[in-house]
A and B are shown apart, each in its own frame.
Chain A
């Protein structure tokens, strides 16, 4: 008998996800169709004849009423068919399977750098409030947060690639290693190891550290500022005073008591920052010619290819929902109160 509420709860949960995604699709479709972008011209060129134009127009189904186009699209999706991308002539789903791992690989390393540096820096700032380390961290994070990433990207290329030669340049690997490793997982750092192509692995590593650091710098700035304010709030609580009076060491007070209590909040902001990295790395992908998801979404938006744009939107929606679920799970791990409920 206790199963029923769980089932209805689960169904309600899935239902709310479906409604969210459907709403997202309608919104994207309307915005996409309101944009004065003509996908036909992108295909046929601006000096094409009217006959050619009309033919492609009809082939794309644009001669149908909007609601027909929309429902056709949704029906196709329900069958698992996301259509063919104009940009590549290949199924959208194949394209995404190719570009998304490139972005996840970059985003994951970035978030490791961002959180790995941002959290300790935030704690350092909070525990040295209004002293030099605090000023330094605040200034540094403000600078990193407010400087456009493409600028850091270009400067990084200039210094670490062009002048010092520490980075491998643009793209996922150096040009002549292109195409040597066929995708297995899609993550080049993993695939190259799996097939034993160590040259490709080192080249991929040389190419990824710079864009990942530039992106990571931005999330580091955000995470350290948030960590700082969470920590300051905790450090002012009475239980901290109690812990200090008890004579516990500074390190124990900070890490065992205060920090443990901000883990839940940190999980949320790191998850959000990670989601942002995955969909928002467009400028860095452009500067570093990184064949990722952000660039794919933007190029398709520019030519008005709704098949690809809607599939990408859906993926971003699913991604954020997944990150939310993940942080919910981590809440339960970190916060005993949520487990009790």
Chain B
């Protein structure tokens, strides 16, 4: 309690203090402050978090680049153009002027080796490929090199547009310098050990040094096919403490600060020396129930929960700079995204549903939440509104993996979580994570899918979502995705989105060309300093 009070005092003091500010970072270097605690590897095939994705994006190239502003737009990367044929075959035409940092030319063989390597090592990126039916066994058959092009046929019926998006996803399609990597192969590990701490890419920057939880130094790659970046170095410094980042931003000792706390962002909003940039990101904050729990198998109980969340209150008071009100399972702005259903807190209605379900006096349950904002605050708000209908929810908190661990094991009752796809700007990215559950048995072990973890299964919903995926008429496809969401609403599934995730970055106002990316693939080569 004493510590909380003191922390509040510090925050109050900081927020009322005007500081002298002057830019101190060099003109040709970009200095970024972020928490490096989640950067565990620089192997593109093994990255799992947003910070490592951003580094990989700037060191490795993908065939296609996802546009940071217009979410459905894709831009040329290593592939200078592409075609999609009638039968859905994708042809990527690689540029011939791209070279790796080692000086080796980038070839289609490098690309194919890099992608197949992901499946061979079964690393994090393999999930993306497997989701569309690519396996180690059928890979050669479906991904083929021909001269300077790669042709890709889909193992499963699907939407070629979606596959194109995957070619812009660093964890799935970064192209590694095969020759340079294999020089460091140990015991047939496909250079997995070496690539954990070293890089071999063709991106606009090269890795000069990575000291875990301290610094990452990227250096300009002068022979980059897209032209050398203006910044000669990108210095990334480990700064776990939000207030430290804020002070350094105010002083101009860092150019960009990531993942600041909301009170610090709010305070910086009033500072003309910095720009606060909020962009919709991927995923949602949600409340999920486990259908393994008898209570939650009853649709009336789930309906009651739907009306026991103060969506508006949570979004207005807790979520600014974390997320924006969103109640449907499709990312705002992508194909098929429809108007909000307008759920509101309605205790009376919830009580009726609870009475119908046989719980007129409520019940006792357990609510898991990660022990950091905004999760813990959302959980507390929900605990309060649940109590109004007699539901006594005990909040159990833990670190990310303490909370998601039991969920992956399907062993929980309620959870406030974050996730739900959206790194590809296609509704299927959300469907696959939240809606489709191909096999509801415990043995299926589909713990990567949030839908499976909740044990919610509906065949009609699965079929409709898959039907939408393979529909080739754009208008009909959009209509089908709308229909999926209406059906989702009627079925009252186990996951209720509350907010769509928003990422907020603060940077000095003399920084130009910095655009935080919804899919975490933020590029530093477009950044200049206006001094």
Given the complex, which residues of B lie within 8 Å of A158, measured CB to CB?
13-14, 17, 247
B127 x A49 contact (CB < 8 A): yes
Interface residues of B in 1-49 (CB under 8 A from A): 2-3, 6-7, 9-10, 13-14, 17, 19-20, 25-26, 29, 31, 37, 40-41, 46, 48-49
Q: Does B165 contact A (CB under 8 A)?
A: no
Q: Is the beta-carbon distance between B447 and A289 smaller than 8 angstroms?
A: no
C-alpha gap A98/B213 in the complex (Å): 11
Q: Is the CB of A161 within 8 A of B247?
A: yes
**At the interface with chain B, which of A173-181, A220-228, A271-279, A312-320?**
A173-181
The 0/1 profile, CB within 8 Å of B marked 1, for residues 161-194 of chain A is 1110100011100111011000000000000000
Cβ 8 A contact of B433, one of A47, A48, A53: A47
Say whether B214 contacts A291, CB under 8 Å: yes
Contact of B40 among A89, A155, A286, A296 (CB under 8 A): A89
Contact indicator B211/A291 (Cβ below 8 Å): yes
Q: How far, in Å, is B63 (CB) from chain A's closest CB?
A: 23
Closest to B420 in A: A47
In chain B, residues 240-258, which have Cβ atoms closer than 8 Å to a Cβ of chain A?
240-241, 243-244, 247-248, 250-251, 253-254
Task: Tell me, in angstroms, the Cα distance from A206 to B223 when the chains sit together.
Answer: 38
Q: How far is the CA of A329 from the CA of B446 in the complex (A)?
A: 61
Q: How far is the CA of A256 from the CA of B247 in the complex (A)?
A: 49
* Contact A148 to B48, CB < 8 A, known contacts A157-B247, A178-B235, A179-B217: no
Q: Which one of A52, A169, A288 has the highest number of Cβ atoms from chain B below 10 Å of its Cβ? A: A52
Size class of the B contact interface (CB-based, 8 Å): 35 or more
Whole-angstrom CA separation of A87 from B37 in the bound complex: 8
Nearest CB in chain B: distance from A42 CB, A? 6
Distance in Å from the Cβ of A245 to the closest Cβ of chain B? 49
Instruction: Tell which of B14, B29, B248, B398 has the most Cβ of chain A within 10 Å.
Output: B248
Instruction: Known A42-B40, A55-B122, A90-B212; judge A47-B251 contact (CB<8 A).
Output: no
Question: Residues of A contacting B103 with CB < 8 Å?
Answer: none
State the main secondary structure of chain B at its contact with A.
Answer: mixed
Q: Give CA–CA (A88, B251) in the complex, Å.
A: 30
Q: Which residue of A lies closest to B445 (CB)?
A: A50
Check B241–A38 contact: CB distance below 8 A. no
- In the bound complex, residues from chain A placing their C-beta under 8 Å from that of B281 are none
A286–B122 touching, CB < 8 Å: no
Cross-chain contact of B402 among A37, A53, A87, A98 (Cβ < 8 A): A37
B244 touches A157 (CB 8 A): yes
- B123 at interface by CB-CB < 8 Å: yes
Q: Is A114 an interface residue (CB 8 A)?
A: no
Is the C-beta of B405 less than 8 angstroms from some C-beta in chain A?
yes
Interchain nearest-CB distance for A300 vs B (Å):
10
B292 at the A interface (CB under 8 A): no
Q: Contacts A47-B433, A151-B10 given: A169-B253 contact, CB under 8 Å? A: yes
* Neighbouring A residues of B408 by C-beta, 8 Å: 41, 46, 53
Residue among A89, A175, A304 making CB contact with B197, cutoff 8 Å: A89
**Chain A, 9-53, contact with B by CB distance < 8 Å: what is the 0/1 string?**
000000000000000000000000000111001111111111111
- 20 other A-B residue contacts (CB within 8 Å) besides A87-B212, A165-B251: A38-B401, A41-B408, A42-B40, A43-B40, A46-B401, A46-B408, A46-B419, A47-B448, A49-B127, A52-B122, A52-B124, A53-B408, A55-B122, A89-B40, A151-B7, A158-B13, A178-B215, A287-B244, A295-B213, A302-B399
Q: What are 7 A-to-B residue pairs whose CB atoms are below 8 Å?
A: A46-B419, A49-B126, A53-B447, A161-B247, A165-B251, A175-B25, A286-B241
Name A's B-contacting residues (CB within 8 A).
36-38, 41-53, 55, 85-90, 95, 98, 147-148, 151, 154-155, 157-158, 161-163, 165, 169-171, 174-176, 178-179, 286-289, 291, 295-296, 299, 302-304
Give 9 nearest A-B pairs by CB, closest first: A45-B48, A88-B212, A50-B445, A89-B196, A41-B401, A291-B214, A46-B404, A49-B448, A49-B127
